[in-house]
Structure 1
């Protein structure tokens, strides 16, 4: 079973899912035990396939740390926090969940784009 670790204890993920927002970016940071990355990715692929079929899903991309890092980061875009929350409501129908290698952790957190004049558009 994967262990859930809050990315920001002052703003729990479940609280973020209740926000009324426009488009959000889910940054989901995973720590995977050494030698278990391929096993983890196979299970994550099944979970990701579930989420990509849900209303409001826009895109996803997994990133792997380099130089022997055990960290993987999934960056997913959703039309709103409400869409992502609704996808979580049906978790009993998704395939992964409890099958992840022992010692895996997950730290999800939601973000909105920020316009920074002259650097980042809105």
Structure 2
């Protein structure tokens, strides 16, 4: 089963869903239990397909650490925090979290683009 952890206890992931804003990017790093990376990948693919089917997931990409790493990082753009909350709080999604091998940790956090003059664009 998937266990969620906060990267920043001052802004818990679940509380971030209440922010009224436009599109957001969720960056979620998973730590696979030893010897279970294939199972984590399969579970992630199933829950990503479910999220994609909601119609509110705008883009998604999964990254896997190199050199035998057990880390996966999911970067996904959602229409809004409310759209993510709607998908995240369904009984169907809860069933998907049960498909991850025991001991799988996830560190999700929501982000917005930041404009830095001469380097990168904001919203």
TM score, norm. by length of structure 2: 0.93
Report how far residue 67 of structure 1 moved. Answer: 1.2
Residues 102-113 of structure 1: pairs in structure 2 closer than 5 A? 102-113=102-113
Residues 1-122 of structure 1: pairs in structure 2 closer than 5 A? 1-90=1-90, 92-94=91-93, 95-122=95-122
* CA root-mean-square deviation: 1.1
Report how far residue 55 of structure 1 moved. Answer: 3.4
Partner Cα separation in structure 2 for residue 2 and residue 109 of structure 1: 15
Report how far residue 29 of structure 1 moved. Answer: 0.7
Q: Deviation above 4 Å: which 4+ runs of structure 1? A: none
Report how far residue 65 of structure 1 moved. Answer: 0.6
Tell me if the contact between 1:4 and 1:107 (Cα under 8 Å) persists in the aligned partners: yes
Partner Cα separation in structure 2 for residue 20 and residue 86 of structure 1: 14
- SS of the residue corresponding to residue 87 of structure 2 reads helix
Report how far residue 107 of structure 1 moved. Answer: 0.8
Report how far residue 34 of structure 1 moved. Answer: 2.2
Report how far residue 99 of structure 1 moved. Answer: 2.0
- SS of the residue corresponding to residue 105 of structure 1 reads strand
- SS of the residue corresponding to residue 96 of structure 1 reads helix
The number of aligned residues is 121
